[in-house]
Amino acid sequence: MATTIIERREVEIKSPTRQRVMGVLFLLLGASIWLFFGRGIEAGVETTFKLVPGGFESSLADWTLPALATLNILAFASAFLGGVQLVRGFGKRTNMILGIVASFFIFGFLVWAAAGKSMNLAGLLNTTLSKAVPLTLGALSGVLCERAGVVNIAIEGMMLAAAMVGALVGSVSGSLWVGLLAAVLVGTLLGLVHAVLSIKYKTDQIISGTVINIFAVGITSFLSAKFMQPNQALNDPGVFRPIVIPLLSKIPILGPILFNNNMFVYSMFFFLILIHVGLFYTRWGLRLRSVGEHPKAADTLGINVFNTRYMAVLLGGAMAGFAGGYFTLGSVGRFDEIMTAGRGFIALAAMIFGNWTPFGSFGAGLLFGFADSLAGKLAILGVQIPSEFLLMAPYVATMIVLAGVVGRGQMPAADGQPYEKE
């Protein structure tokens, strides 16, 4: 019966309306590739993609493409898929085809932006992965909390406080690992505060998270300005060095990107697998999800709703603390005021975009990271597009997901609802 609590029937939407909407969307994307990108390119212009991740050597030759022909092929392929979708549809594969057409559009944009110039494609992918790490870890924090029915918008504050404490403790102790442990503990402590307020005292979970965010901004800014900035010995922890995995790091293009990174990147993949398996293939995960779907039925079956939610929020806080440690111990090696820059909220958007699943959140984190990385690349290329439009794109995609264009989201039914034991 416990399984019945959390199971949802996946109803494939086969309505003619959705089939037409998706078909028109594919056609519009194809038309956009031709209209906005292809028409401004002269014949004979080439786009060159370099395949060398930043800081690495590669024997691969540059990838040179005829810009106009490539854009025309991408536009035709998108339009063809749109026509097929309008005529007979792709059924269960519609979302997969949407991903393919969206990839065509993104690649077409890159071809257009670098036409007559060169872009380091491998370097762009490397930066995308790096920027996706804190977003994915923060999204995993949200997944753990919200799968148990507790909304956690305090991820931003937890990450910020953990980043500061990690830098401070790491500098004083001279050990990166001690600093990372302190960061995780701070995230767990703030998770406990959020859990007590929202579970025991049934405070509105949005208000509880907002209070933590405001507190974190205030306390970290004060301590940084008062102690850490005047005394640089308190703000110089260093960073975790890359760990090279033999043989795998020699794989062309992807090898240096995936297998020559610091421990935060490897830990991200480890936690992705661990949390996915734990949530969907273990009794522990079944109980946690049942508490987020139907706490009263779970309580009837003997599951302690309060303890399960406490555990989930504490684990979520620890994960947010680990994500915060990345900023100071895995990236820049020092703490600056408000250095998380809203990435905790972006992580929440990634979690929603990823449909409250670990690997979905990772994909969304890559999308947000790609947009952030691309903004910097286009500035170097001199493309006359405001960076704000690129940074806005993932949020627009999130709203499209929430609107149900790619299918209904599966937010836990009891998410954000305090439980009253009868």
CA 150 to chain centre: 19
Helix (H) or strand (E) holding 393: helix 387-402
Task: Give me the pLDDT at residue 51, please.
Answer: 83
Q: Are 53 and 257 in contact (CB under 8 A)?
A: yes
**Domain edges within the chain:** 12-116, 127-352
**Using one digit for the tens of pLDDT, what is the confidence trace for 256-304?**
889 999 999 999 999 999 999 999 999 999 999 999 999 999 999 999 9
Task: Give me the pLDDT at residue 219, please.
Answer: 97
| Residue 187: pLDDT over 80 | yes
How confident is residue 6, by pLDDT bands cut at 50, 70 and 90? very low
CA 210 to chain centre: 21
Buried/exposed 190-217: b ≥16 CB within 10 Å, e otherwise: bbebbbebbbeeebebeebbebbbebbb
Cβ partners under 8 Å of residue 10, min gap 6: none
Task: Give me the pLDDT at residue 394, please.
Answer: 73
Beta strands in 16-171 (DSSP E): 46-50, 63-66, 118-120
Buried/exposed 283-297: b ≥16 CB within 10 Å, e otherwise: eebbbbbbbbbbbeb
Task: Give me the pLDDT at residue 383, please.
Answer: 77
Q: The whole model's pTM is what? A: 0.90
